[in-house]
Amino acid sequence: MYYAAANGLVEAFNKILCNLLKKVVAKSKRDWHTRIGEALCAYRTTVRTPTQATLYALVYGVETVLPLEQQIPSLRIAIQEGLIEEENAQIRLEELEAFDEKRLKAQQRLKCYQARLSRSFNKRVHLRSFQVGDLVLAVRRPIITTHRMENKFLRK
């Protein structure tokens, strides 16, 4: 089933994914299928401007632990390793309780971002009104009458 809005989102994401793969893939460009996981990981762990959060955090409620942080321990990893199991469970429960609030804030930020974009776009739009008798340039394109489109324009 064709759903135009979702199809547009898919096309937009495909463009983003292609650009990410161009940055990750070697010169031979034949190993893209082995590098797609890296590209998707980079996409999911990058902070988005509209929501001020990563996609991973919005889905799972916590920030991801990068492989580099496992090799070179960060402060966050050091704190987590020093916790006992009960403390770790308590912190995770608190994170889950704050999860809905985090999503709502991200949704509010997204609406504000979209409103800002809309205002910015509307500033550049000039409203023009025409009166009867004004000269205007009309673009008249010929109707495409290929074999595929022919049936749409026939009277029945």
Looking at 3-17, 47-61, 120-134, which range is the least confident one? 3-17
In the chain, % of residues over pLDDT 70: 90
For residue 90, which amino acid is it? Answer: Q
CA distance 21 to 14: 10
Q: What is the mean pLDDT of residues 28-44?
A: 88
110, 55 Cβ separation under 8 angstroms:
no
| pLDDT-based confidence at residue 106 (cuts at 50, 70, 90) | very high
pLDDT at 124: 92
Q: What is the mean pLDDT of residues 16-41?
A: 88
98, 105 Cβ separation under 8 angstroms:
no
pLDDT at 105: 92
pLDDT at 144: 64
Q: Where are the domains of the chain?
A: 1-44, 48-124
Q: Would you state the structure tokens that stand for residue 19, as one six-digit string?
A: 């650009």
Position with higher pLDDT, 154 vs 125: 125
pTM for the whole thing? 0.64
pLDDT at 1: 62
Q: Would you state the structure tokens that stand for residue 20, as one six-digit string?
A: 């990410």
Q: What is the mean pLDDT of residues 73-79?
A: 72
Q: Is 53 helix (H, G, I), strand (E, B) or coil?
A: strand
